[in-house]
Amino acid sequence: MSVFGKWPVKNGDVLEAVRRLLIHLLEVELVVAVLVPVETKNGRSVMPTLIRDPDQIARANPLLPVLPINGARMASLITRYRSVSNGKYPANGRIAVVMRPCELRATVELAKLRQVDYASLLTVGVDCLGTYEITDWQAMESESAEYFDSILDAMNRADPESPLDRPYRQACKICATPVAWNVDMNLHFIGVNGREGILVETTGESLLTSLGLTTVADPLTHQEAVRDVVEVRQNRRHSALDIASARLQAGTDGMPGLTKIFENCQRCLNCTVACPICYCKTCLFRTETFNHRPEHYLEWADRKGAARLPGDAITFQLTRFIHISASCIGCGLCTSACPASIPVDTIFQAVGRQTQALFDYIPGRDLEEPLPATTYREEEFANLGETVE
């Protein structure tokens, strides 16, 4: 049962209020540390930072509209072997992770893959209507003095469009999940005037009480604003994925659309590095498996007249669909990382939409929902494998 409270903001300084809340979590020992985006020295980007000393919260900024890395990977780094903690820190002490909704959904998927110890986390979601490519953001640096007001205003009026000169990242433009699901605490800014107070939602009353807050009535303006923006984004998302699906279909020459879209894929593996779900330490594509014996390349060139190198790009991407498409939460960092400007995430989300529908699975929603590849039902796909399909 979730309850709402209002965290006070002094002199309209929202960042100070967010930082004060995080310091509070440390001081009342609700958590032993906080993982939060912290401004880099030049203030033009953020990096996830694990903070023990409350003084270090001073540069925390979970609202700066860039996502250089999906924080779920960091949640994995700091909790995956938690059970072998050396006892120096409270064994049952949790770490607050302050993240955007896509990062928190990825964290749930990584927990199912046993790469995150979810029980070690106090999940804190921050409403998000979009982030910018870092290059775009840095090009707009001159505006950065006012960016904060623009971003807060856009959230207050639940604007699905970018309030600044440059567009949001492609994945953000079609993201229909601006609010984190099933988290311990949500900091809401959508449909809220953040300068008058941050709308805090917690699962259960005790967490709200430990913040020193009392419950307020269900914030209808916030809930309606979220509904409105989700509806716009959902429509846009379906159109974008429909277009991607159409592009994937085979052309008149019978060639799968995938081979055209990934024509420029150089199999650099940047997408696998950026992807929060693609965690395997023993990835087949990092081995010599697909670096074939030299004479094989000549054989292939001989058979078809030519062989595009380095090759196996489609095998690589299809394999990634098998591994990732059920769990793809659409953070879009694969697209940001692609040196060939391939719209990787749009394609993955189009394929993911099919895979997820096939198994009636929504990634990142519920820790108890098993990963499709790890389970089965005896009565499903009964015709598959029989003589008459």
Partner 1 sequence: MMCTGAIDPVYVIKALVGGADAVLIAGCHPGDCHYSEGNYKARRHVAQLKSILEETGFDPERIWLRWISASEGKLFAETIAEMTQAIRAIGPTPVRQALVV
Could you list the residues that contact partner 1 (CB under 8 A)? 245, 248-251, 253-260, 262-263, 265, 284, 304, 306-308, 311-315, 318-319, 321-322, 325-326, 350-351, 354-355, 358-359, 372-373, 375-376, 378, 380-381, 384-387
Residue identified by tokens 């800014």 is: 189
DSSP codes, 280-305 = -TT-GGGSSTTS--HHHHHHHHHHHS
Of 119 and 358, nearer to partner 1 (C-beta) is 358
Minimum distance, C-beta of residue 365 to partner 1, in the bound complex (Å): 19
3-class DSSP state of 80? coil
Minimum distance, C-beta of residue 259 to partner 1, in the bound complex (Å): 5
Minimum distance, C-beta of residue 197 to partner 1, in the bound complex (Å): 46
**Structure letter (DSSP) for residue 372:** G
Number of Cβ atoms within 10 Å of the Cβ of 25: 24
3-class DSSP state of 324? helix
Residue identified by tokens 């023990």 is: 52
Of 106 and 261, nearer to partner 1 (C-beta) is 261
Minimum distance, C-beta of residue 237 to partner 1, in the bound complex (Å): 16
Of 231 and 263, nearer to partner 1 (C-beta) is 263
Residue 140's identity, in one-letter code, is: M
Minimum distance, C-beta of residue 381 to partner 1, in the bound complex (Å): 5
Of 25 and 261, nearer to partner 1 (C-beta) is 261
Number of Cβ atoms within 10 Å of the Cβ of 311: 16
Of 2 and 266, nearer to partner 1 (C-beta) is 266
Residue 75 to residue 65: CA distance in whole angstroms: 20
Minimum distance, C-beta of residue 342 to partner 1, in the bound complex (Å): 12
Of 129 and 338, nearer to partner 1 (C-beta) is 338
Which run of H or of E encompasses 347? helix 344-358
Of 28 and 373, nearer to partner 1 (C-beta) is 373
**Dihedrals phi, psi of 203, to nearest 5 degrees:** -85, 110
Residue 66 pairs in a beta bridge with: 132
Minimum distance, C-beta of residue 281 to partner 1, in the bound complex (Å): 16
